[in-house]
Amino acid sequence: MKKRIVKIWGKKYCTIDEIVDSLTVENAQVSRQTVIWSINDLVKQGKAVRVGRGVYLIAPKKQFSPVMSATAKSACSLLADKFRYLDVTVTDTGFLSEFMNLQPFSTVVTLEVKKSAVNAILSAMRKAGFDAYDKNDYPKMQRYITTAQPILIRPELAINPTIAKDCNVRLANIEKTLVDLVCDEDIYGQYQGEELQNIFQNATKRYAINYSQLLKYAGARKRKETVMQILQNTDEYQKVRNLL
């Protein structure tokens, strides 16, 4: 069955319903559950990717794997030492340069922690020599910052699409990072304008994106319409938007 799915739907975006319909035309005995199992196997084998709720691309596509910069790793080591039981979400924008025409003059490491811990972590970071700032203070301090990679501390957001790193550290996935660029232009100024569209265009082209997850997070942050407008100017989203 997997070979048949690839033959019919290879290199195309499709829904579970479309796949089931195409297979039952050939064999009425095919069950929906068997089709779902087959698609899940294709995903595990890297021959298909999930791009939304019940929506797939039946083709290999690179999965985004976030990498922490040396600054982010050092910051997390400090947190693990001094705040052992603290959960932290890390967003490191260093990887975004691969999607841009002009290279940014700096990148940003953002640490999201529980609100009550922000001040304590900020103090510990500064004592350890990190160029760290409260997220709310960063915009007015930006012109005085000379480091190439400042660290921003902010309260954790209610919904955070992330990838587990270890028991306490979670890394922002590509869906979260793209939405945050739109929502937090005050701290991601170097990624705005034409470069923001370049980032969305190239990220969606090169990596597997779960659009349902991305838009759900954008909705939670009250910027779904803005994010959709940007996505509509990307080639990949145009291929899949009517299926979501």
Please give the share of the chain, as a percent, with pLDDT higher than 70. Answer: 99
Assess if residue 108 is contained within a domain.
Answer: yes
Range of the structural domain that residue 23 is part of = 2-57
Q: In the predicted model, is pLDDT for residue 31 greater than 70?
A: yes
pLDDT of residue 167: 64
| Pair (42, 84) in one structural domain | no
The number of distinct structural domains making up the chain is 2
Q: What is the dihedral of CA 223, 224, 229, 235, to 10 degrees?
A: 130
Instruction: Give phi and psi for 227, each to the nearest 5.
Output: -65, -40
Beta-strand ranges (E) seen in the chain are 13-15, 49-52, 55-57, 88-92, 109-113, 132-134, 151-155, 162-164, 169-172
pLDDT of residue 141: 83
| Pair (157, 130) in one structural domain | yes
pLDDT of residue 157: 86
| Pair (174, 79) in one structural domain | yes
Residue where a domain terminates, one of 57, 81, 101: 57
CATH number at residue 44: 1.10.10
Mean pLDDT for all residues in the chain: 94
Residue where a domain terminates, one of 16, 36, 57: 57
- pLDDT tens across 175-215, in order? 999 999 999 999 999 999 999 999 999 999 999 999 999 99
Confidence band of 14 (pLDDT split at 50, 70, 90): very high
| Pair (103, 22) in one structural domain | no
Average pLDDT of 52-77?
95
Assess if residue 192 is contained within a domain.
Answer: yes
| Pair (113, 226) in one structural domain | yes
Average pLDDT of 229-239?
98
Q: In the predicted model, is pLDDT for residue 6 greater than 90?
A: yes
| Pair (150, 45) in one structural domain | no
10 Å CB burial of residue 166 (0-12, 13-18, 19+) is exposed
pLDDT of residue 193: 96
Assess if residue 62 is contained within a domain.
Answer: no
Assess if residue 64 is contained within a domain.
Answer: no
